[in-house]
Amino acid sequence: MYRYKEIYSDIKRDILRNHYRAGSAMPTQEALAHKYKVSRLTLRKSLQLLSDEGLIYSQQGSGTIVRSQIANNNGELLPLDLPIGTTYTHRDQKITSKILLFSARLPDENEQKNLRIAANEPIYEIKRVRYRDGKHYSFEHTIMPTRIAPLDKKILAGSIYDYLGVKKNIFMTDARRVVYAQAATEESSQALAVTVGTPLLVIEQIAYDQKGDAFEYSTSQFVEDHSKFVVDVHRSEYW
């Protein structure tokens, strides 16, 4: 990966983890260039990517400012365009998990394609129900190569992303998400305590780490009236 993309991913992660807080000024370009040991030109390319995503902007006399996201006072509007997980987006709420399946096996063709792995590379298969303040929130089906990190049920009961970040220095910096509607099957209806055929919102995701490697392929199903998602659109060029 190009150095400026690595720096972009690192700063983006710091923004999403509130190291650089919304509405506040970031360190100067000189300070950031010194921190990452790169030229100002390389750093500007990193900052341009962040600006293109609407995460930062330049303010005359104040430097580079972290952009505030759309207000979300009711806690229901979740950012669909940012690479963060359930626990992060609900820091003020209690997120718990019920593990329905945790096993290891070889991947099928679709999983090989999405994770860019060989047919003989073992994967974890994880099915969890996530609860928000004790209420059904989502039904997750996750596929992850076993080489990424050793997992156990204690880890799965909490946040996998927090574990990967703290213990393995693996962060989701990018993700490809496909959103669609689907009727609840027998399995998902039991997991979410709804009737078969109930409309569900499905988010299919491939998550990438700071090196650009795919480390997770998952689908998360949500009951229609339990969650709302938002995408902030930023236009970087005018014509």
- Domains along the chain? 3-66 (1.10.10.10), 77-230 (3.40.1410.10)
Q: Residue 202 has what pLDDT?
A: 94
pLDDT surpasses 70 at 104:
yes
Among the listed residues 161, 109, 119, the one whose alpha carbon sits nearest the alpha carbon of residue 140: 161
Q: Mean of the pLDDT values across residues 178-183?
A: 93
- CA 185 remoteness from chain centre: 26
Q: Evaluate whether 201 touches 183 at the Cβ level (below 8 Å).
A: no
Q: What 8-state DSSP symbol labels residue 28?
A: P
Q: Evaluate whether 40 touches 30 at the Cβ level (below 8 Å).
A: yes
The CA radius of gyration of the chain, in Å to the nearest whole number, is 19
Q: Mean of the pLDDT values across residues 16-34?
A: 87
pLDDT surpasses 80 at 134:
yes
Name the burial class of residue 138, with classes exposed (0-12), middle (13-18) and buried (19+) by CB atoms within 10 angstroms of its CB: buried
pTM for this prediction: 0.69
Confidence of residue 12 (pLDDT cuts 50, 70, 90): confident
Q: Residue 9 has what pLDDT?
A: 84
Q: Which helix (H) or strand (E) holds 82?
A: none
> How far is the C-alpha of 9 from the C-alpha of 15, rounded, in Å?
10
